[in-house]
A and B are shown apart, each in its own frame.
Chain A
Amino acid sequence: MSSTETKVDDLVDREYAAGFVTDIESDTFPPGLDETVVRAISAKKGEPEWMTQWRLEAFEKWKAMSSPDWAHLNIPPIDYQSISYYSAPKNPDDAPKSLDEVDPKLLETYDKLGIPLLEQQMLAGVAVDAVFDSVSVVTTFKDKLAEAGVVFCPLSEAVHSHPELVKKYLGSVVPVEDNYFACLNSAVFSDGSFVYVPKGVRCPMELSTYFRINEQNTGQFERTLIICEDQAHVSYLEGCTAPMRDENQLHAAVVELVALEDAEIKYSTVQNWYPGDDEGRGGIYNFVTKRAECRGARSKVSWTQLETGSAVTWKYPSCVLLGDDSVGEFYSVAVSSKQQQADTGTKMIHVGKNTRSTIISKGISAQKGQNAYRGLVRMGAGAENARNFTQCDSLLIGDQCGAHTFPYIEAKNPSARVEHEATTSKVSDDQLFYLRQRGISEEDALNMIVNGFCKDVFQKLPMEFAVEAEALLGITLEGAVG
């Protein structure tokens, strides 16, 4: 028996392909956090006074808060004074205006990651915003988007170009004091993407942001804000990677989505932060607050995520279904291998009448990985005829890993219906042997089984990225066959 288990372990063992460091001159703040640092970040961005004040208020609130510890996670205390809160490639002081102005080394980095900005711009018809450490380095396809009336730019730019929108919506979905990490982010957020789709517009292409942490001892605190006016429609994808470092690095992002009447937002994530080594050294702490408000009637928000990286993942992309007949969806594949820990899930808060939500969560645990699904479905008193369907499946590879499910249900309206299904299964030696007996290699057999398990979720990814997701999952679970 033990020989086959080791074999499966070997199979899921692999090198982190995105683990290189880019040697690039950068402008990095010394570690530490106080009011001066918050002001300095704001000054770096040339922010207006209202923005600086917003940050400072957040910082005051954060100082009074303490780090939460309720998750099914084992995390050593984080020293917030040892982190640098700002790092930017030392290019001209102002951000590059086109690809030609971007440091070639940076472009090389994105190339290595399989994100050829130029090519993607030309061929795929996907608009890309790339965030390197703390700043957005390039946004492609701006012109074409502008024609349609869509705004897609770094948040730091939107503060200047669309201050009224930023003032109105920033912090309106995730309040500054919502939680410890969101509050920290509000004080020190560096950059991120801003998307505004005006009334009646279907965004003509997929929007995509790639986040990359490069500098050592740097935290990444990006902030994304997406607003869809009435009948507007957008599909957005974010991807994340980081170099291999022996120290843990903190990533505390905030994502806010606002969908007005009949609007639809599809938000997909392919997260491949560095997971740490076999002994659990290094890796990214991925503490993210993602929340959507379906404010208008019949609006719809769909979260799809593939989480393969990070040492610790702690995130619950949520939907607050305010508008009548609004719809929230959450489709997730979370992989934890090596010593990775993931505590992820969603919250569906039903407020409006006839609101509907669907949750499909697939957790894969291998080696010493620990995977927890944590979900809340709340049916408010006014949520007449609201419905939820939840399906949580766990797949175990080997016998040292773990899967845990924590579903919370609160129903205050008797007409609301909540369904919950959960399964746990194991990749069996018999399955592997059956496929191998048909001539399929052990690695391919494992991939086949795992991809079959994830199919329901991958089908929800935009087509261009479904292939990427399958490949990434393949790489994640691939390794030398013993």
Chain B
Amino acid sequence: MLEIKNLHARVGDKPILKGINLSIGTGEIHAIMGPNGSGKSTLSSVLAGHDDYEVTDGEVIYQGENLLEMEPEERARAGVFLSFQYPVEVPGVKNIYLLKSALNAKRAHQGQEEINPVEFLKLVREKLKLMKMDEAFLHRNINEGFSGGEKKRNEILQMQLLEPSLCLLDETDSGLDVDALRIVGEGINYLRAEQRSFVMVTHYQRLLDHVRPDFVHVLADGQIKASGDFSLAQRLEKEGYEGLLAEA
């Protein structure tokens, strides 16, 4: 699914990623954990194609294609979805309009016609129910005045609708209370499938209690310092990053 080789990236003059190597197989769930400032969020932003980051070395192959050469919207249409740590507000634009435009952009890319309004509404209602969201959400402006939890649920709602191949979840658990965390966790689990891969970037273990990863990686100072299975996350919880990294 995704092959990251020796990836280096910087913001301005400041190097953040210093040689990331990571291989994500189809259907796998990877958790990337690390202390603040380790480069976790940078990694997901670089994979999604954010302009603020300059890739200085390395390559990323996504489904056989050079991901780094694609525009952000091309990556999205090809099935790369980023659930934002801080979803952005767009005043005056209704949520439903974004959902529909995004879905139709993907459909156009796949050579399909625009979805008909009745079918679309049916589909959206189904997903809303899954995320325990009220239909009023559709007619609110994108993320405007949403609580932290509502914003995150809205991200997962979009992910549900777009059914991406590669889901990048950037600190999805931050700002969530226990109930919201459970709903978001269920939303992610619902999407687990053989043909779909996940990369979950997180500081804490709590999301991983809901969505059990196949692999856990520890990112520090722009490099992956340790990899393992779920037990690595459990060790982290006990020993903390300092303890674990001192060992590694």
User: Could you list which residues of chain A lie within 8 angstroms of chain B, going by C-beta atoms?
Assistant: 3-4, 7, 425, 428-431, 433-442, 444, 448-449, 451-456
- With A439-B105, A440-B102 already in contact, the answer to whether A449 and B82 are too (CB < 8 A) is no
Output the residue of A431, A438, A441, A453 with the most chain B CB within 10 A.
A438
Taking a contact as CB atoms under 8 Å apart, the answer to whether B73 and A448 are in contact is no
Taking a contact as CB atoms under 8 Å apart, the answer to whether A434 and B77 are in contact is no
Q: Which applies to chain A's interface (DSSP): helix, strand, loop or mixed?
A: helix
Taking a contact as CB atoms under 8 Å apart, the answer to whether B93 and A436 are in contact is no
A452 contacts which chain B residues (CB < 8 A)?
90-93, 141
Output the residue of A428, A439, A449, A456 with the most chain B CB within 10 A.
A439
Q: Please name 15 further chain A to chain B contacts, defined as beta carbons within 8 Å, in addition to the given A437-B81, A441-B105, sorted by A numbering.
A: A4-B51, A434-B90, A436-B49, A436-B73, A437-B49, A437-B72, A439-B73, A439-B105, A439-B109, A441-B73, A442-B71, A451-B92, A452-B92, A452-B141, A455-B92
B69 at the interface (CB under 8 A from A): no
B71 contacts which chain A residues (CB < 8 A)?
436, 442
Taking a contact as CB atoms under 8 Å apart, the answer to whether A439 and B90 are in contact is no
CB within 8 Å of A: which B61-82 residues: 71-73, 75-77, 81-82
Pick 5 A–B contacts, CB within 8 A, sort by A: A429-B51, A429-B52, A438-B76, A438-B158, A454-B92
Output the residue of B75, B82, B98 with the most chain A CB within 10 A.
B98
Taking a contact as CB atoms under 8 Å apart, the answer to whether B105 and A440 are in contact is yes
Q: How far is the CB of B115 from chain A (nearest CB, A)?
A: 13
**Closest Cβ neighbor of B50 among chain A residues:** A433
C-alpha spacing A433/B106, complex, angstroms: 16
B72 contacts which chain A residues (CB < 8 A)?
433, 436-437
Taking a contact as CB atoms under 8 Å apart, the answer to whether B162 and A439 are in contact is yes
B102 contacts which chain A residues (CB < 8 A)?
438-440
Q: Which 10 A-B pairs have the closest CB atoms?
A: A452-B92, A452-B93, A439-B105, A438-B102, A439-B76, A434-B88, A436-B72, A455-B92, A436-B73, A439-B77
C-alpha spacing A244/B75, complex, angstroms: 39
**Closest Cβ neighbor of A423 among chain B residues:** B91
B147 at the interface (CB under 8 A from A): no
C-alpha spacing A204/B102, complex, angstroms: 40
C-alpha spacing A454/B93, complex, angstroms: 10
Q: How far is the CB of B104 from chain A (nearest CB, A)?
A: 9
- With A439-B106, A439-B109 already in contact, the answer to whether A448 and B76 are too (CB < 8 A) is no
C-alpha spacing A437/B101, complex, angstroms: 12
- With A438-B101, A442-B73 already in contact, the answer to whether A430 and B91 are too (CB < 8 A) is no
A433 contacts which chain B residues (CB < 8 A)?
48, 50-51, 72, 88
B146 at the interface (CB under 8 A from A): no
Contact with B101, one of A4, A425, A444, A453 (Cβ below 8 angstroms): A444
C-alpha spacing A442/B75, complex, angstroms: 13
| Count of A-B residue pairs with CB < 8 Å | 80
**Closest Cβ neighbor of B101 among chain A residues:** A440
B93 contacts which chain A residues (CB < 8 A)?
448-449, 451-452
Q: How far is the CB of A448 from chain B (nearest CB, A)?
A: 5
B91 contacts which chain A residues (CB < 8 A)?
425, 452-453
**Closest Cβ neighbor of B51 among chain A residues:** A4
C-alpha spacing A452/B92, complex, angstroms: 4
- With A429-B51, A444-B101, A452-B141 already in contact, the answer to whether A436 and B76 are too (CB < 8 A) is yes
A431 contacts which chain B residues (CB < 8 A)?
88-90
C-alpha spacing A442/B89, complex, angstroms: 17
Q: How far is the CB of A332 from chain B (nearest CB, A)?
A: 16
B106 contacts which chain A residues (CB < 8 A)?
439
Taking a contact as CB atoms under 8 Å apart, the answer to whether B141 and A3 are in contact is no
C-alpha spacing A433/B49, complex, angstroms: 9
CB within 8 Å of A: which B96-126 residues: 97-98, 101-102, 105-106, 109
Q: How far is the CB of B156 from chain A (nearest CB, A)?
A: 13
Q: How far is the CB of B201 from chain A (nearest CB, A)?
A: 15
Q: How far is the CB of B146 from chain A (nearest CB, A)?
A: 13
B87 at the interface (CB under 8 A from A): yes
B87 contacts which chain A residues (CB < 8 A)?
434
Taking a contact as CB atoms under 8 Å apart, the answer to whether B92 and A438 are in contact is no
CB within 8 Å of A: which B34-75 residues: 48-52, 71-73, 75
Contact with B51, one of A3, A434, A454 (Cβ below 8 angstroms): A3
**Closest Cβ neighbor of A454 among chain B residues:** B92
A430 contacts which chain B residues (CB < 8 A)?
88
B137 at the interface (CB under 8 A from A): no
Taking a contact as CB atoms under 8 Å apart, the answer to whether A438 and B105 are in contact is yes
C-alpha spacing A7/B72, complex, angstroms: 14
C-alpha spacing A434/B95, complex, angstroms: 13
Taking a contact as CB atoms under 8 Å apart, the answer to whether B90 and A435 are in contact is yes
**Closest Cβ neighbor of A448 among chain B residues:** B93
C-alpha spacing A3/B51, complex, angstroms: 9
**Closest Cβ neighbor of A428 among chain B residues:** B88
**Closest Cβ neighbor of A433 among chain B residues:** B50
**Closest Cβ neighbor of A393 among chain B residues:** B91
B84 at the interface (CB under 8 A from A): yes
Contact with B98, one of A3, A7, A429, A435 (Cβ below 8 angstroms): A435
CB within 8 Å of A: which B160-200 residues: 162
Q: How far is the CB of B20 from chain A (nearest CB, A)?
A: 20
Q: How far is the CB of A335 from chain B (nearest CB, A)?
A: 16
C-alpha spacing A452/B89, complex, angstroms: 11
A456 contacts which chain B residues (CB < 8 A)?
92
C-alpha spacing A95/B106, complex, angstroms: 54
C-alpha spacing A89/B173, complex, angstroms: 69
A435 contacts which chain B residues (CB < 8 A)?
90, 98
A439 contacts which chain B residues (CB < 8 A)?
73, 76-77, 102, 105-106, 109, 162
Q: How far is the CB of A361 from chain B (nearest CB, A)?
A: 15
